[in-house]
Copies of this chain bind each other. A is one copy, B any other.
């Protein structure tokens, strides 16, 4: 049981333990093994059985930040039955594999390695015949890691538009809509390439609501977006004049029917495709909640689908913590509020940081001087923005400690410089690669 007199340091330890428990629940190697097992010649995937004697070849493809450990699990299960395979993973996110080729590629900015790997993956899918089985291993980051610009477009074009969309505050849904319509592998094109082979996609979800056609820009899923949607998104953020001319022309050609629309529901390729989610944010949140309960906290899951501008989302979380202290609503201390999802940062400054570190910084400002509150926000993939941290930990003394060091918290927040703020305080959360990626996990402890 948690004592009501537990100090801030003890609560920080609790927050870290709760976070790691959440991560373990969605570790991707274990997730694959929970859903897949081999019995004799039968591969069971969830409740479906595949008689491997029916198939001539078994191919593995895939991409994502957590795809290497997924591939490792698949090799453990299927061993030499695998003919060959290729996956795209983030630099330094490789593991030891014997039959599946790992291509290290750029993330969050796609690069040439990614493009070469994507082409190899598409070719492998095209080589699959009617009596072949293709297993596709998809996890978050797959969008950036699987770049294959449509004919006439360059990787630079795609990099440029991704940068523009990220910096104007576009949602991941919006960014992916445009990615799919400028790609030859996303938005269902990989499934169409594999047809008429049998295709099973094992998916670790990193998007709000687990929409299949959004995760990794849905390479094996019918696309719900159209070229017309792309036009709307570009209008919404008023970036008509900023985007590369080649992309504008390509979308225009799509509207005019001169470039094919992405595969839509009803395409025969999807009759041979089975998409299965093997891990998602809510599982991490629920596991974290159980851990918090086991060490004595009253718990409340807000939502695993939290979106919105980070600093305002942080204000709402802080308001709940302050209400707990003031009136015991929505639950009494010691309390643990949990939430998941992925917020947005509209970049206005030139600092270094990520949405999780910015969340903790904005929360720190809101809770400064209150009684005991600890805030941990971390990316489950272990990387938050272009930094080596997964997130950061803040508490009701953070601002006081920062000011004692001569740091102006509001200045760091305005400059999107949360990494340098928490680095100076020694309050970064650094996990290294976590072998998973189900968006973010936020833990607010009130003692």
Contacts and interface: CB of A to CB of B under 8 A. Distances in A.
A308 B312 contact: yes
Interface in A197-233: 208-209
A286 B329 CA distance: 10
Contacts of A341: 319
A164 interface: no
A302 B414 CA distance: 27
B410 A236 contact: yes
A271 interface: no
A327 interface: yes
Contacts of A306: 315-316, 319
Contacts of A302: 316, 319-320, 323, 330
Contacts of A208: 319
B308 A323 contact: no
Contacts of A322: 209, 303, 305
Contact of A315 (B308, B326, B410, B414): B308
Interface in A325-367: 326-327, 329-330, 341, 366
A309 interface: yes
A398 interface: no
Interface in A286-303: 286, 300-303
B309 A323 contact: no
Contacts of A330: 300-303
A307 interface: yes
A208 B370 CA distance: 14
A154 B366 CA distance: 34
Given A301-B329, A304-B327, A316 B313 contact: yes
Interface string A399-414: 0000000000010001
Given A236-B410, A303-B322, A322-B209, A316 B327 contact: no
A326 B311 CA distance: 26
A282 interface: yes
Interface string A375-410: 000000000000000000000000000000000001
B319 A303 contact: yes
Contacts of A320: 302-303
Contacts of A313: 308, 312, 315-316
Given A304-B323, A305-B323, A307-B315, 4 more contacts: A285-B329, A303-B322, A309-B309, A309-B312
Task: List 6 tightest A-B contacts by C-beta distance, closest first.
Answer: A312-B312, A308-B315, A308-B312, A303-B323, A303-B319, A301-B329
22 contacts: A209-B326, A236-B414, A300-B300, A301-B329, A301-B330, A302-B319, A302-B320, A302-B323, A302-B330, A303-B319, A303-B320, A305-B322, A305-B326, A306-B315, A306-B316, A306-B319, A307-B319, A308-B311, A308-B312, A308-B316, A308-B319, A309-B312
